Amino acid sequence: MTPAEEHRFPCPQCGAELRFSPGQARLICDHCGHVEPVGSAGPHHRPIPETDFRKGLEAALPDTEIEVARYSKCPNCGAEVQFDPAVHATECPFCATPVVADTGTSRHIKPKGVAPFVLTAPEARRAMTDWLGALWFAPSGLQDYARKGRAMEGIYVPYWTFDADTRSRYTGRRGTVYYETQRVQVRDAKGAVHWQDRQVARIRWTPVAGRVARFFDDVLVLASRSLPSGYTQALEPWDLTRLEPYAPEFLAGFRAEGYTVGLEEGMAEARGYMDRMIERDVRFDIGGDRQEIHAIETQVSAVTFKHILLPVWSAAYRYRGRSYRFVVNGQTGQVKGERPWSAWKIAAAVIVGAALAAAAVLGLQYADQQGWIELQSY
């Protein structure tokens, strides 16, 4: 079993803490400027190994793939926040709720890969304020508060990826559309009855059966419930080609969230995605103009998984008694957050809209009156 790691990286020149520099693949010292490379030199690093799903499910993984870390659960959003040994209290990076460190530790499957941060904190903040500025009816005070408020926090969010080989048999029906000519009676505008030919669509059904196969590679499943699914889906897509083999240096200066969605639950979610893709393959294989699927039997084999960490910039603000959460994709700058509303802006828009509508009605009335006067004069 791997002991809990402090993930501390003192500068060899001055002793200050090194931090990972987003987009530069290096550790830097903000005190003396010392730089150390980290990770691969490019996209052609060695492939990240997969782990057998059955072994992970049966807790039969070797000790080298297990870590012991100290996590505390946020009482508000449920995020599993990782603590350094010297830290006893902090704030949840997703909702700003105070979190106190637990005294115990827990066993987790160690991450196999990590996608390092590409965006810096100022770039993430700029993306967030631009997103806020583009929202109609957002409170101006919140935009100013977010721009000048607390710094954004970089956090690595846990995901599972699943690979699987699938072979499916199906039965169903193929529908072919054809047209028949029918002679019908119609009544014209004068009430007279006439005969008219019309084309009526019919479907000719044919029983079918067949097989489809698909290999699924890196089906991505969020391993946390701290953020609503709408948030995480809005941050997609993720560039998994930028995954690096896990090294604690990538976490220097950042925090990591522990997974709360277990391996079995994650695979069940992945199977839902696989089943939808297999159904699409079956419909394509049936062909024709219409398809009916009666049954699909799928054999799943060679299932493997990886536990990976993906980069998210997070900010939580309390503005006039309400909490607002924002997250930014640490690779692309895609933003998602709780939509704020300004009551006075909405009221002003309603008043302006009503005034414009009233002006339009008065204008029409005036135009009608002028037309009537001109007609009377004529």
Cβ proximity of 327 and 336 under 8 Å:
yes
On whether residue 69 sits in a domain, the answer given is: yes
CA–CA distance, 146 with 81 (Å, rounded to integer): 23
On whether residue 273 sits in a domain, the answer given is: no
Sign of CA dihedral 42, 22, 91, 337: negative
Contacts of 215 (CB under 8 A, 6+ apart): 163, 164, 165, 166
Q: Name the phi and psi angles at 311, rounded to 5.
A: -85, 130
| Radius of gyration for the chain, computed over Cα atoms and rounded to the nearest angstrom | 30
On whether residue 366 sits in a domain, the answer given is: no
| 152: exposed, middle or buried (Cβ count in 10 Å: 0-12, 13-18, 19+) | buried
On whether residue 255 sits in a domain, the answer given is: yes
Domain encompassing residue 98: 18-167+227-264+300-344
β-bridge mates for residue 224, sequence order = none
Q: What six digits make up the tokens of 68?
A: 């012991």
Q: Name the phi and psi angles at 173, rounded to 5.
A: -140, 145
On whether residue 247 sits in a domain, the answer given is: yes
Helix (H), strand (E), coil (C) string for 73-115: ECCCCCCEEECCCCCCEEECCCCCCEEECCCCCEEEECCCEEC
On whether residue 329 sits in a domain, the answer given is: yes
CA–CA distance, 376 with 378 (Å, rounded to integer): 5
| Identity of the residue numbered 233 | Q
| pLDDT, position 3 | 37
What is residue 276's three-state secondary structure? helix
On whether residue 202 sits in a domain, the answer given is: no
Cβ proximity of 40 and 239 under 8 Å:
no
Q: What six digits make up the tokens of 280?
A: 């699409």
Contacts of 191 (CB under 8 A, 6+ apart): none
Select from 108, 118, 105 the least CA-distant residue to 160. Answer: 108
Helix (H), strand (E), coil (C) string for 345-374: HHHHHHHHHHHHHHHHHHHHHHHHHHHHHH
| pLDDT, position 348 | 40
Cβ proximity of 272 and 219 under 8 Å:
no
What is residue 24's three-state secondary structure? coil
Structural domain count of the chain: 1
Cβ proximity of 128 and 146 under 8 Å:
yes
pLDDT tens by residue, 170-225: 999 999 999 998 888 888 878 788 888 888 899 999 999 999 999 999 999 999 88
- The tens-digit pLDDT sequence of the chain (378 residues) is 333 344 678 888 888 888 999 988 889 998 898 998 886 645 545 689 999 999 998 887 888 888 877 666 777 766 676 655 545 556 676 666 667 656 556 778 999 999 999 999 989 988 887 877 654 444 555 555 555 555 788 999 999 999 999 999 999 999 999 999 888 888 887 878 888 888 889 999 999 999 999 999 999 999 988 877 788 888 999 999 999 999 989 988 888 888 989 999 999 999 999 999 999 999 999 999 999 999 999 999 999 999 999 999 988 776 666 677 889 999 999 998 775 544 444 444 444 445 555 555 555 554 555 554 454 554
What is residue 198's three-state secondary structure? strand
Q: Which residue has the tokens 């089943």?
A: 275
Q: Enter the DSSP assignment of 2.
A: B
Q: Name the phi and psi angles at 97, rounded to 5.
A: -80, 135
CA distances from 6 to 15, 34, 35, 175 (A): 16, 21, 20, 63
| pLDDT, position 225 | 85
Select from 83, 110, 80, 85 the least CA-distant residue to 1. Answer: 110
Q: What six digits make up the tokens of 117?
A: 């941060």
| pLDDT, position 371 | 52
pLDDT tens by residue, 39-50: 664 554 568 999
Sign of CA dihedral 120, 126, 130, 131: positive
On whether residue 121 sits in a domain, the answer given is: yes
Ramachandran category for residue 218: left, alpha or beta (phi over 0 → left; psi -120 to 50 → alpha): left
